[in-house]
């Protein structure tokens, strides 16, 4: 079994920015997440941060992301989202790329993780360019013994009637579906829309968590109502498939009772 943690939408802003668009204390939340993950036993095989690492895309905020994540014990996989800016991110995490897209792949545990860059400068919606599809085609042929796990900040477009900004564009979605057809794909990890959701898209689980900034009230069907709430995904990959549990962080839940491990193991 491969265990991993799915973080998304960190939305870190350096305090010097006095960011008026920051809806919660995201640096404090990320520091807490690192403590929580480091306390896990056993440790996850890896941690994914699937985009919107910062809120404004400035270098100082990426340096803060780097510093907060530095104590993380598990390997870290990062992707870029629409709030990210390639020049700022690359200056800190990928020197030499300048303003080029950030995409990469590597095996972790029992999975081959392929990360694409769906950010489009100046746009809220996402897309994948020709170079990334060429990279994906080549990556799918590597590590053939391992199932593929894709990390893409914008989820595929599931509903033609939905607002276009909430996903990859239609052309990228259709091309991605064609390329993944017949492949052994464990799942796609995304973010962007600040909800806890698992969708099945052409038989592939698309996993989103509400992230570390805020969440969206799904019962409000007219407007976009943003409410407090952060969390992350606890993921387990077995040969039988992918399991995901969503772990809330804030608001902090009041403990009602606790059943110790010895008693739990005594239950039939």
**Residue 264 has what pLDDT?**
87
Q: Where are the domains of the chain?
A: 2-266
* Interatomic CA distance for residues 119 and 126, integer angstroms: 5
Which spans in the chain are helix H? 26-38, 59-69, 86-93, 130-140, 170-180, 261-266
CA distances from 73 to 35, 36, 45, 70 (A): 10, 11, 10, 8
User: Which architecture, in CATH terms, is 2-266?
Assistant: 4-Layer Sandwich (3.60)
Q: What is the pTM of this model?
A: 0.96
Task: State the pLDDT at residue 257.
Answer: 93
pLDDT for 161 equals 87
Contact between 61 and 55 (Cβ < 8 Å) = yes
Q: Write the DSSP assignment of 26-63 as a string of letters.
A: HHHHHHHHHHHHHT-SSPPSEEEEES--BSS--HHHHH
pLDDT the model gives residue 119: 96
How confident is the model at residue 117, as a pLDDT? 98
DSSP per position, 126-149: B---HHHHHHHHHHHTSSTTSEEE
CA distance 60 to 64: 6
- pLDDT tens by residue, the chain, 268 residues: 999 999 999 999 999 999 999 999 999 999 999 999 999 999 999 999 999 999 999 999 999 999 999 999 999 999 999 999 999 999 999 998 999 999 999 999 999 999 999 999 999 999 999 999 999 999 999 999 999 999 999 999 999 888 899 999 999 999 999 999 999 999 999 999 999 999 999 999 999 999 999 999 999 999 999 999 999 999 999 999 999 999 999 999 899 999 998 998 998 7
Residue with tokens 């990320």: 30
The pLDDT value recorded for residue 268 is 76
């Amino acid at each position: 079994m491969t265990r991993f943690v799915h973080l998304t939408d960190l939305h870190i802003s350096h305090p010097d920015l006095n960011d008026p668009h920051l809806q919660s204390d995201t640096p404090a939340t990320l520091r807490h997440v690192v403590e929580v993950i480091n306390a896990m036993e056993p440790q996850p095989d890896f941690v994914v941060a699937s985009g919107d690492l910062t809120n404004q895309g400035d270098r100082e905020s990426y340096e803060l992301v780097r510093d907060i994540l530095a104590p993380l014990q598990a390997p870290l996989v990062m992707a870029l989202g629409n709030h990210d800016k390639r020049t700022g991110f690359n200056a800190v995490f990928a020197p030499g790329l300048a303003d080029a897209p950030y995409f990469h792949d590597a095996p972790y545990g029992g999975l081959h993780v392929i990360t694409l860059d769906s950010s489009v400068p100046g746009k809220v919606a996402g897309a994948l360019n020709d170079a990334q599809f060429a990279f994906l085609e080549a990556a799918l042929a590597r590590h053939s013994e391992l199932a593929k796990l894709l990390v893409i900040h914008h989820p595929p477009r599931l509903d033609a009637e939905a607002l276009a900004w909430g996903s990859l564009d239609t052309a990228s979605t259709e091309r991605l579906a064609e390329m993944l057809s017949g492949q052994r794909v464990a799942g796609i990890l995304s973010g962007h829309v600040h909800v806890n959701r698992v969708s099945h898209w052409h038989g592939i689980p698309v996993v989103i968590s509400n992230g570390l900034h805020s969440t969206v009230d799904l019962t409000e069907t007219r407007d976009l109502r943003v409410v407090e709430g952060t969390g992350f995904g606890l993921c387990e990959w077995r040969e039988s498939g992918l399991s995901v549990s969503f772990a809330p962080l804030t608001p902090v839940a009041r403990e009602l009772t606790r059943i110790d491990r010895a008693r739990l193991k005594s239950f039939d």
